[in-house]
Amino acid sequence: MKEASKDVYMKVNDVRTKVGTATVQFAETMEEAVEIHGGAEEALKLLNSQYLTNEMNRIRGEARGGPGKKVIESRALALITDDEWANVAGDPDAIQSLLEQKRTEVKETIESERNAQLAAANTGSDDGEDDDDDDEDDE
């Protein structure tokens, strides 16, 4: 098991303030996870709860029209290679241009993924017919 700590911040009177430190144990195996979280039933409840939270956040993101600016920025930064950073080092305009290029790539990827999901969702066998098993001859 590993222990990790992370400072917790929140806005207090419009000022970002440290309010504490979260310290948790991270399991390295499923057996450790079950032990940490009080047994298999509790571990499964936590896993399912997190899965539900992730799905709800995904749906909220879709309702907003996709990921927000911070997510796009983070993904764009992650796409920049060491060589690309080296090529723009010290040139703020070149850095901004590179970032904008990567943001565009991220947005295009998101859009194509969304279009693929919509296409997959619309390939069902909806022929406009009522699928009920009501036969008119049963009277």
The two structure tokens encoding residue 91: 């040139």
- Beta bridge partners, 9, equal 18
Question: Are residues 60 and 4 part of one domain?
Answer: yes
Question: Are residues 73 and 87 part of one domain?
Answer: yes
Question: Are residues 47 and 101 part of one domain?
Answer: no
CB-CB contact of 12 with 23 (8 Å) = no
Torsion angle of C-alpha atoms 61, 107, 111, 108, degrees rounded to 10? -170
Domain-terminating residue out of 25, 49, 65: 65
Residue 127 lies in a domain: no
Q: Which of 51, 95, 50 is nearest to 73 (CA)?
A: 95
| Residue 120: pLDDT band with limits 50, 70, 90 | confident
Task: Note the pTM of the prediction, 2 decimals.
Answer: 0.47
Question: Are residues 81 and 59 part of one domain?
Answer: no
Q: What is the mean pLDDT of the chain?
A: 86
The pLDDT value recorded for residue 124 is 62
Residue 135 lies in a domain: no
| Residue 111: pLDDT band with limits 50, 70, 90 | confident
The two structure tokens encoding residue 70: 């911070």
Question: Are residues 107 and 88 part of one domain?
Answer: yes
When comparing pLDDT for 131 and 47, which is higher? Answer: 47
Q: Which structural domain range is residue 1 located in?
A: 1-65
Report the run of H or E that residue 19 belongs to, with start and end: strand 15-26
Residue 137 lies in a domain: no
Question: Are residues 113 and 61 part of one domain?
Answer: no
Question: Are residues 6 and 60 part of one domain?
Answer: yes
Is the pLDDT confidence value at 53 over 90? yes
Residue 51 lies in a domain: yes
Average pLDDT over residues 31-35: 92
Tally of domains in the chain: 2
